[in-house]
């Protein structure tokens, strides 16, 4: 098998980590952000960080938002993702500075769009979100936050105030070398269409969702 040899006669090194590619102003309904685009050389995904204001290195209000086409773009009430994204963008604007890292490749907790739709079809038949993934022979959560940590380091951030209800996200970020100074709850009012999904996230995926107790009347 022929080696891939560079012009100097040495084997070409494969790039790894994230590479900043572009920085562009992005005016939104929430405020004017800088959209900083990255290429993740490890997974091949194109990523973007929305940066608002002048950020410091420590205690930056930050959201790591997993891509969710159905929730973010279509307004699905199966999950709370779209509302969480909007709430995070509003929060960093209210704060005066902050970062929302939008993580592509995280669709359906990392299983992909079509697999997520298959899992949703199984949930409509009575399985919960964990059971549905397992029934398809897929991991319950395949997400990795290495690219997010690399993006934060590129932005000069060493510690964050993480907007999340998921303790596993905090643990993963810490494992990748980013300190989490505080976890900031990002609680969205549930609806009848997503209450079962949210309860499963609390009971089986350890999400901190104390506000669900107020809607105990929904079966």
Catalytic residues: 141, 143
What is d(CA 125, CA 191) in angstroms, rounded to the nearest whole number? 19
Cα gap 25→131, rounded to integer Å:
42
Exposed (0-12), middle (13-18) or buried (19+): which is 129, by Cβ within 10 Å?
buried
Residue matched to tokens 């609680």:
187
**Main-chain phi, psi angles of 78, to 5 degrees:** -70, -30
- Sign of the alpha-carbon dihedral angle for 191, 202, 183, 36: negative
Report which DSSP code applies to 87: H
Is 157 within 8 Å of 60 (Cβ atoms)? Answer: yes
Q: Which helix (H) or strand (E) holds 189?
A: none
Distances (CA, A) of 9 to 1, 4, 139: 16, 9, 42
Helix (H, G, I), strand (E, B) or coil at 131: helix
- Rounded to the nearest 10 degrees, how much is the dihedral formed by the CA atoms of 93, 55, 43, 79? -20
């Amino acid at each position: 098998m022929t080696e891939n040899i560079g012009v100097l006669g040495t084997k070409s090194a494969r790039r790894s980590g994230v590479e900043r590619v572009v920085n562009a102003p992005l005016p939104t309904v929430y405020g004017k952000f800088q959209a900083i685009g990255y290429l993740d050389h490890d997974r091949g995904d194109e990523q973007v960080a929305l940066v608002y204001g002048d950020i410091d290195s420590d205690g930056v209000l930050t959201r790591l938002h997993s891509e969710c086409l159905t929730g973010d773009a279509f307004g699905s009430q199966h999950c709370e993702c779209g509302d969480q994204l909007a709430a995070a963008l509003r929060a960093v604007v209210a704060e005066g500075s902050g970062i929302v890292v939008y993580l592509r490749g995280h669709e359906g907790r990392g299983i992909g769009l079509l697999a997520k739709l298959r899992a949703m079809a199984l949930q409509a038949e009575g399985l919960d979100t964990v059971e549905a993934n397992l029934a398809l022979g897929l991991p319950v959560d395949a997400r990795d936050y290495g690219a997010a940590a690399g993006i934060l380091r590129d932005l000069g951030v060493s510690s964050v105030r993480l907007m999340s209800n998921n303790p596993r996200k905090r643990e993963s970020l810490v494992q990748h070398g980013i300190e989490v100074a505080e976890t900031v709850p990002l609680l969205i009012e549930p609806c009848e269409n997503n209450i079962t999904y949210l309860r499963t996230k609390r009971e089986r995926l350890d999400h901190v969702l104390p506000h669900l107790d107020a809607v105990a009347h929904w079966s």
